[in-house]
Structure 1
Amino acid sequence: MQREPTEQFRSATQNAWWTVNRGDGPIVGTAIHNGHAMRSDARALVALTEKERLREEDPFTEFIIRDLANRIVVHRSRFEVDINRARAGAIYLQPAQAWGLSVWREHPPAELIETSLAVHDEYYAMLRSMLTAIERRHQRFIVLDVHSYNHRRQGPEAEPADIAEAPEINIGTSSMDRVKWAGVIETLISAIGATTLAGRPVDVRENIAFQGRGEQTRFIHEHFPDTGCAIAIEFKKTFMDEWTGKPDLEALRSLRTLVGSLVPILTEALARQR
């Protein structure tokens, strides 16, 4: 029986750091900001409400990548430790690190910080091991680093962000060798642009709202410079109400179908790199 996107796997993932699904093929999907869970000691010190945290997390990105055989879903909230920040900035200690939000009631103790940073360390050790195995089997690989972003930051009744600066799907490529991977990126953008969502063409653009400067893509390009293509994909939160957290199930199913359809297209594009 297929799970719906509203299922959060609370009993299975409350104490889990992440879930890894390993299958065949060179395409990997990640949803590293999907998580909402926090350790009890960290949660006790957090000053934010559940809704405030959820608004800056990426709920339902796990659902969007669910049809990929290779995928990683992080269950810890970015407010406990942000896997997509460099280790030195992975704990939001200042409002400037967290969209102006004061995350903590008081400065977290050193022990709490180090416990959280250990998760960061373990994640990148796991990721490197997994990608090394995929590289060994397929020579090259593509990681779709899936995120989502808010476009109604001024409030639920305010006008959304200017569409000129907020594409439906933003492809971030600035941390890669763009010339080397041009064929893959152009194939991806072309494939997405040829589809429709809710009966309208998909607005997909490169390096507009975000540029793909997260730690995960940087790490992959550093450690797999000739074989790993990590692409940050940001979906505008038109698939949900970013203020209430309510999903649009039809829109989410469409995005899941879209991402799943990219696997054979990108696998072929990757083969042409050789």
Structure 2
Amino acid sequence: MLTLKGEPLTDADNDSWWTVHRGESPVVATAIHDGHGLRADLQALMALADDERLREEDPYTAYILQDLANRVIVHRSRFEVDLNRARDGAVYTDPSQAWGLNVWRDALPRDRHEASLVLHDEYYRMLRSMLQSIERRHGSFVVLDVHSYNHRRDGPDSDPTDPAAAPEINIGTHSMDRGRWAHVLETLLDAFRRFEFRGKRFDVRENVAFQGRGEQTRFIHEHFPQTGCAIAIEFKKFFMDEWTGEPDFEVLEALRALIASTVPDLVKALDGRQ
């Protein structure tokens, strides 16, 4: 797998868990499926090739959110531990959990399984502490939980998923208290729908391809029910070739600008609630 600079991942990247950037803002963005790193004791057990893993990861999501002052970038692959699944399903042990893929050559030893769950535990301890700090400073906050999804699953030359079922930007709100956070959500949706790229506006819809049922948004709404608004954002992989991993930097730059453009309006929306 290549980085954006075209350089291969190093052992240090495989050893890193995540990077946290903290700044003066109540808006946070996360890229918890951007990572491709895999710890050394799992590499010989992994049945999937690098490109197979990459296809189900969310490369370049960290690039899209890099202009936000508060951001969390996870460096480990979701095939080591999926931070957007509940703890009891965060390590894939059956193809039904992983798009029909056989992840491991043999059954994953219990000690390796438990070692992977340490990251899940530590991530949510870290996230809770970070959000408590932002809550103390600002009173309330918004978390943009940034992901991406495939739309050419049948092969590189296949027809893409019907656009009726695959918006360019899918907003997931399953665990959100809509009555409490409708104003913030509508602010984000309006900003996304106003944005123009290549003479047109993005197809932005709510709960179509995904409903925002991931663990991170659920966790935030459970632990910060009065102060934390978490919104799952799924970008269709129209910014890259999902089979080769080749990015379209013009699209990526547009999505980067889009995410950055939402921050002032989201801050105003939060201020209006307090």
TM-score, structure 2 as length reference = 0.97
Flag the 1:236–1:7 CA change in 2: closer, same or farther, 3 A: farther
Aligned to 2:164: 164
Contact in 2 for aligned 1:198/1:251 (Cα 8 Å) = no
Aligned to 2:191: 191
Extract structure 1 runs of 4+ deviating beyond 6 A. none
> Percent same amino acid among aligned pairs?
63
One-letter amino acid of the counterpart of residue 96, structure 1: S
Flag the 1:126–1:209 CA change in 2: closer, same or farther, 3 A: same
Contact in 2 for aligned 1:144/1:230 (Cα 8 Å) = yes
Aligned-residue RMSD, C-alpha: 1.3
CA distance in 1, matches of 2:194, 2:9: 34
Deviations 1:82-138 (A, max 9, x none): 000000000000000000001000011011001000010000000000000000000
Q: Shift of residue 140 of structure 1?
A: 0.2
CA distance in 2, matches of 1:10, 1:163: 38
Contact in 2 for aligned 1:35/1:58 (Cα 8 Å) = yes
Mapped pair 1:210 → 2:210: yes
Secondary structure of the residue aligned to 1:81 is: coil
Gaps of 5+ in 1: none
Aligned to 1:74: 74
Contact in 2 for aligned 1:5/1:249 (Cα 8 Å) = no
Aligned to 2:266: 266
CA distance in 1, matches of 2:12, 2:68: 20
How many residue pairs end up in the alignment?
272
CA distance in 2, matches of 1:220, 1:6: 35
Aligned to 1:133: 133
One-letter amino acid of the counterpart of residue 132, structure 2: T
Q: Shift of residue 43 of structure 1?
A: 1.5
TM-score, structure 1 as length reference = 0.97
Aligned to 1:21: 21
Secondary structure of the residue aligned to 1:71 is: strand
Q: Shift of residue 41 of structure 1?
A: 1.3
CA distance in 2, matches of 1:260, 1:210: 23
